[in-house]
Structure 1
Amino acid sequence: MSTVPPSEQPDEQPSISDEQLEAFLREAAEGGGTAAPKEPSARARMVTQRLREQGDAPPPGWRTGPALHEVNGRSRRRRRLGAALGVLLVAGLAVVAIRPSLLLDQLPGGSDDKPEAGASVAASPVTGGGPTLDAPFRGSPARSWAEGADAIELPAAKAVGDMSEDQVEQALRQTKDFLVASNLDPAVRRGGRPTKALSFLDPKQPDMLPDARRALRSPDREHDPVNLFTRFDPDEVRPVGDVVKVRGRMTYEAGEPGQVRVRADYTFVYPVAKAESGADRISRTIVRRGLTMVLSDPARWDVTAGKLLVERYDAAYFNVACENEGGFLHPSFPTAAPTDSPPTGEARDPYDLDTPLGEVFDGEACGTVTRS
């Protein structure tokens, strides 16, 4: 996007009236609207302030601190496992109020989006460039992404270190299966227990499974299942269609003798609407997950054959509320009211796949998103 601000010379004539700009900002806050008019940013701020005083402005950024979790388990003959950090980067909509064009990518096809697989066929007609029940990925870079489990493509397996090609292939396949079971399983996304995902983890890794089960049973800030599993409260939101857009990559390398290490970094985009009947306002929750999984040779390590050790996991969540109460992600909607102090963290692009995940969240400050 351009970094050159519009002119703010006092003698420059405005290109549109206050009434036109006010109507545009109202439309943008409701998720519709057309391309942003060329307007001095000072006037935009003045009109936005007037809307805020009238109670119609979109909320300031959502806030929270990081949800911390450490993997401190080790198998008896394992010498080290990296610390794990699950972080919470929350979304804000204040930027969108001034620059609604940030929501719209220049993607082929313009606004002529076809309904996504599984989307409602009884949705209202498209009236703007934002998401609808028929086209929940409209205006998002994820519109052109692959979807579901097929988007998680495995690299060609080759022997590394003293691990065979078959062992490497097994580690890759099981890492994918874990990602699918923990982030794409419809029952898990609707708040269900991730039983299949848990089945891939080695019960001999101290604390890992007990901590995960404890988080699912009695979630709190220190034990939050969303650090590993994507779950929404079914009483709060419902998925829009069956499609989840996915993009990322998986790599592998030799670990310690008798081990192969798999690194996965994937972003998932979930369109949701409020659970109540007739709700048609769409929010896209964006979850980026980093995983480092280890498959060990049971002939050399005290492990369960065919099970994975979790060496590290990281996560960043966008377009969600600050407080992940109840062990769920809570999507934010444009009409939601702000809760506490303004966001102090940097603005982030949730579709940025190049910045290392460990650098996405800095400290305990909460930031905003530049697009949703």
Structure 2
Amino acid sequence: MSLVSDNKPGGNGDSSFSDDVWEQFARDTERDIRNSAPKEPSARARMVTERLRQQDERGDRPESWRVGPSVHETKRRSARRRRLWAVIGVPLAVVVAVVAMKPSLLPGDPFDTSSGTSSDDASAVSRLPDETAPPTAAPSASSGTPTLDRPFAGSPAERWADGADGIVVPRATAVGPLTEAQVATALKRTKTLLVEANLDRATLRGERPEAAIATLDPKQPKMVDDVNRWLRSPGKDDDPLALFTRFDPEEIRLVGDVVKTRGRITFKAGERASVVIHADYSFVYPVTRADNNSTEVTRTIVRRVLDLEVSDPTKYRVTPGKLAILRYDRDLANSACDVHDGFLHPRFDSADPGGPDPSGPTVDPYDRSRGIQNSEPGACGTLSRT
């Protein structure tokens, strides 16, 4: 059907266009209509379309043929990638950093980092839980020789806490007329006394332990006077080692920055409107000779048992918060016998520090299950290990 009329415009047959112009207009119009009409796809086009549709359904159509994701889809994918990095990437980065610092953690130790270390090195990083009750037996034996790099090798103390971290103060409660705050102060000062008397570097070098003395009650008869006399003129009956750990810096130097510590603090009501604090702690000191060329390492073990009291200052003549010493006892393991100059003198396998040889019964200085209440000043036993 033709959409072009044979009648020329004008109604009455008259026209302002020539026949040639009109025929050209008719041809152009008919061509445009043909070009814009819908065309049935060829058989080949239909086959290509069907093949692409089937590929889309199977999911194997080439990515370059697909339509790109929308802006919304792009943002969603970016968010998923960020979440995936947070879940997987960050922990992976931490693992890589840890392995970089300690490659021996890799299975099989592919970088051979175990050279020069013993098989019990893993135990060194596994700290024992804090001691909360008296032990019932000595710790098991361990192998290894102390060195400058591993001064606690072969010692149960390798798994003990470091320094003041091992002195754990229990939670305070009110005791008798003393408030919770007063008991908390007494416990805190007990820890200060233990730290300043046995861990402070100046004290260990033989300097005057001012901070430790400051915790003591100056109103306790003779106690502070006795301490000052011990430090001023050490002797057999005036031994500062009764309360303080001291090495002669011209003879001995500590190895590393760590002293191992283990023990516990307990408290109960006392008889004089007071709280009585019981402290039982062992300290392990790795040492070598003061000579900078020395590589031989040994250990001295000091165990201290203290009973301290803080009384109600409204009922007794005491200094509020200061500690009165009811009992002080100690075991000094691996130090020269019958030397009373106020210093510990560790024994080394290659040298004799002087004094008589140990002659008492064999004891294990790491056995915290045994009591020391019957130990005598000057007793010098044989050690089963150091």
TM-score range (shorter-chain normalised) is 0.5 to 0.7
Q: Is the 8 A contact 1:261 1:294 kept in 2?
A: yes
Q: How much has 1:112 moved relative to structure 2? A: 6.7
Q: Distance in 2 between matches of 1:299 and 1:111?
A: 55
1:260 aligns with 2:275: yes
Matched residue count: 252
Alignment CA distance shift 1:164-1:351 (3 Å): same
1:366 aligns with 2:380: yes
1:200 aligns with 2:215: yes
Matches within 5 A, 1:117-136: 129-136=144-151
**1:152 is matched with which residue?**
167
Give secondary structure in 2 for the equivalent of 1:213: helix
Output the aligned Cα RMSD.
2.1
Q: How much has 1:109 moved relative to structure 2? A: 4.9
**1:209 is matched with which residue?**
224
Of the candidates 241, 246, 251, which is equivalent to residue 261 of structure 2?
Answer: 246
Matches within 5 A, 1:1-372: 109-111=119-121, 129-337=144-352, 343-359=358-374, 361=375, 365-372=379-386
- In the superposition, the TM-score normalised over structure 1's length comes to 0.64
- In the superposition, the TM-score normalised over structure 2's length comes to 0.62
Q: Distance in 2 between matches of 1:178 and 1:342?
A: 32
Q: Distance in 1 between matches of 2:251 and 2:120?
A: 32
Alignment CA distance shift 1:156-1:150 (3 Å): same
Instruction: Tell me the amino acid that sits aligned with residue 381 of structure 2.
Output: G
Q: Distance in 1 between matches of 2:194 and 2:223?
A: 16
Q: Percent identity?
A: 50
Q: For residues 274-316 of structure 1, what are the alpha-carbon distances to aligned partners after superposition, in whole Å with 9 as ceiling and x for unaligned? A: 0012111111010000011111121111011221101110000
In structure 1, the gaps of 5 or more residues are 1-107, 116-127
Q: Is the 8 A contact 1:160 1:254 kept in 2?
A: yes
**2:70 is matched with which residue?**
none
Q: How much has 1:362 moved relative to structure 2? A: 6.0
Q: Is the 8 A contact 2:264 2:281 kept in 1?
A: yes
The higher radius of gyration belongs to 2
Tell which deviates more after alignment, 259-268 or 201-210: 201-210
In the TM superposition, structure 1's runs of 4+ consecutive aligned residues that sit over 6 Å from their partners are 112-115
Alignment CA distance shift 1:354-1:114 (3 Å): closer
Higher helix share: 2
Give secondary structure in 2 for the equivalent of 1:346: strand
Give secondary structure in 2 for the equivalent of 1:347: strand
Q: Is the 8 A contact 1:113 1:138 kept in 2?
A: no
Q: How much has 1:366 moved relative to structure 2? A: 2.5
Q: Distance in 1 between matches of 2:255 and 2:329?
A: 26
Q: How much has 1:176 moved relative to structure 2? A: 0.6
